[in-house]
Amino acid sequence: MHALPASLAALVTDFVRRHARAYVPAAAMLACIALLTVWIPHHVGAMVDGLVAQRLYGAALWRELAWLLAAGVGIYGLRVAWRLRLYGAAYRMGVELREQLYQRLAAQGPRFFQQRRTGDVMALATNDVDAVELAAGEAVLAGFDGTLTLILVVATMVLAVDGRLAAVALLPFPAMALAFWWISRHVHDASRNALERFGHLNDQVQETLTGVRTLRALGLEARSSARFAELAQAAADASLDAQRWEARYEPAVGLTLSAAMVLSLGLGGWLVWHGELSVGQLTSFGLYLGQLIWPMFAAGWVLSLWERGRAAWGRLHAVLAEPLAIDDDGRIAPVTAGALRVDGLRFSYPGATAPALDGVSWTLPAGQTLGLVGPTGAGKSTLLRLLLRQWAPQAGAITWGGVALTDYTLEALRAGIAWVPQEPILFSASVAENIALARPEASRAEIEHAARLAAVHEDITRLPQGYDTPVGERGVTLSGGQRQRVAIARALLADAPLLLLDDALSAVDAQTEHDILQHLREQRRGRTVLIVSHRLSAVMDADAIAVLRHGHLSEWGTHAELLARGTAASWYAQQWRIQQLEASLHDD
């Protein structure tokens, strides 16, 4: 990823340097426009003097008018050309920023997303990137165009018309510069507030749409609507406040140019009266003064776009420069499948008073299945997240195939692991596309085979379009059990050497659970499997079972060994008897 400058000015400078092939021709076209713009008043002044002196008439007059028309057409053509040339480059900045933002978000760990709200992150990729894009595109070229036009016009007023008249006309401009400085400070603060308010509004919309079923079930539609209206009004008020401050540029320009016009007409009339200035020169000067309208308005517009861009870049840079929760310093790829070893593992979540895992050690030979059980909050899912390197342990180490997990690249490590989380995520695509997510090139036969292993094939065939049925956002059209089994099919199709099932069978019935586990045993083909489950029946056939309690490994052994102990301190044996009793009561 390209290095990120801390300031917007450095970012834009670097971007312009890297895309000089677009900016240099656009700047050259603007320079030609500025020269033609300055030439027109001079030519009009000469024509006026010629008409007053009765030297210009007939074909000569038409010829001079034709030159003016040609200059106007040339300015129009050049303006169209520079915009076409520039905007392609400016839009490229938006593409680059969105790519960098996406790559950074994809590399961040859970801690980052616990601190950042989804709606605000989405706003960064839309409004904030657009604001930076405008600063790099229109603001830069408008600033160049306005500055060049200002220099040429003022230089022509001083050198080609009358220096005294130019000095008097420019007297109000320092006051305008001071007003611009004061307004731009407020525009920056107001723009940042408007962007943040829009992010809060995005948060509300995202959360409401995600939890719309819960809101309806609890009858909270009115409260949610009122909250949305409140945030929408706050966002509108913040945007209006920013627009109010931006609107102050125009009166400042108008007052300044009005004062300059009054002063120049007063002095100019006096100079014409005393024969020190011709009528044509005064006409040219008035036209030149009118041409200062664009540079002044451009200054206000550029400052407005720039301050919006600065505010947006401050928000974007904070996210793009956020250190990664997990360092990707590994060099080994692909993974070497082998024994999975956990040695003295200790981990605490940020702000937690007690460790989630403390001194956990075990070894699982390659190709075997380990069941992870224990009461809620014992650290089972935490252990899987450490295996996935979503978090880094404070002490201890994990090795796979004799290689520390930190020595593998994150891409290689996660490609070697198929993970089914507690709450499976499906995407707005067809069932087949969701199953083939890790292997887009998989054939339909392979997809259906994975679905049969996950005991979901029959459910899929009953859908309106079978495997081509869209599942909706987050799989909303499927039941909880169907979503879990589709996620399991996806993991099985990936055919990774390590399969992690994090309570992935909680939403299926006992018979379906038995079928899926039987298929796993039959189709394992050397794959190492870790199964987290609250139902001990899901792990009873595992090669080894680890019981976690309060972050410690309290028991280890096979199902038969753990039951044989049967002591009062054996959580596994007690829990097995309780679950068997519940199952018998249910059958009755």
Tell me the domains of the chain and their CATH numbers: 8-320 (1.20.1560.10)
Angle between helical axes of 293-320 and 279-291 (0-180°, round to 10)? 20
Give strand pairing partners of 417: 498
Strand order across the beta sheet in which 544-549 lies: 417-420, 498-502, 528-532, 369-373, 544-549, 552-557
And the tokens for 244?
A: 């109010």
Instruction: Tell which wins on pLDDT, 79 or 489.
Output: 489
Tell me the H-state helices in 211-248.
Answer: 212-217, 221-247
Query: Most distant CA pair in the chain: distance in Å?
Result: 122
Q: Considering the chain, what is the average pLDDT of its residues?
A: 83
CB atoms within 10 A of CB 34: 24
Give every CB contact of residue 21 below 8 A, 6+ residues apart in sequence.
none
Residue 178, class by beta-carbon neighbours within 10 Å (0-12 exposed, 13-18 middle, 19+ buried)?
exposed
pLDDT value, residue 588: 52
pLDDT tens digit string along 80-113?
877 777 777 777 888 888 888 888 888 887 778 8
**Mean pLDDT over residues 54-77, rounded?**
80
Angle between helical axes of 293-320 and 140-156 (0-180°, round to 10)? 150
CB atoms within 10 A of CB 457: 18
In the predicted model, is pLDDT for residue 340 greater than 90? yes
pLDDT value, residue 85: 72
Give strand pairing partners of 360: 345
∠ Cα 179 180 184 (to 5°) = 120
Confidence of residue 524 (pLDDT cuts 50, 70, 90): low
pLDDT tens digit string along 456-479?
999 899 988 999 988 877 777 888
Angle between helical axes of 293-320 and 173-210 (0-180°, round to 10)? 40
pLDDT tens digit string along 173-232?
788 778 878 887 888 788 888 878 887 887 788 777 777 777 777 777 788 888 888 888
Supply the pTM of this predicted model: 0.70
In the predicted model, is pLDDT for residue 54 greater than 70? yes
Place of tokens 């596994």: 572
Q: How far apart are CA 194 and CA 188, in angstroms?
A: 10
DSSP code at position 139: I
Dihedral angle over CA of 78, 82, 85, 88, nearest 10: -140
pLDDT value, residue 363: 93
Give strand pairing partners of 172: none
Q: How far apart are CA 160 and CA 577, in angstroms?
A: 103
- 498-502 vs 417-420, strand pairing mode: parallel
Dihedral angle over CA of 470, 474, 478, 479, nearest 10: 180
pLDDT tens digit string along 376-408?
889 999 999 999 998 889 999 999 998 999 999
Spatial CA neighbour of 104 closest among 121, 92, 89, 119:
121
Q: What are the φ and ψ backbone dihedral angles of 170, each rounded to 5 degrees?
A: -85, 0
The dihedral sign for the CA sequence 460, 464, 470, 473:
negative
Sequence letter at residue 281: Q
548 — alpha (psi -120 to 50), left (phi > 0) or beta?
A: beta
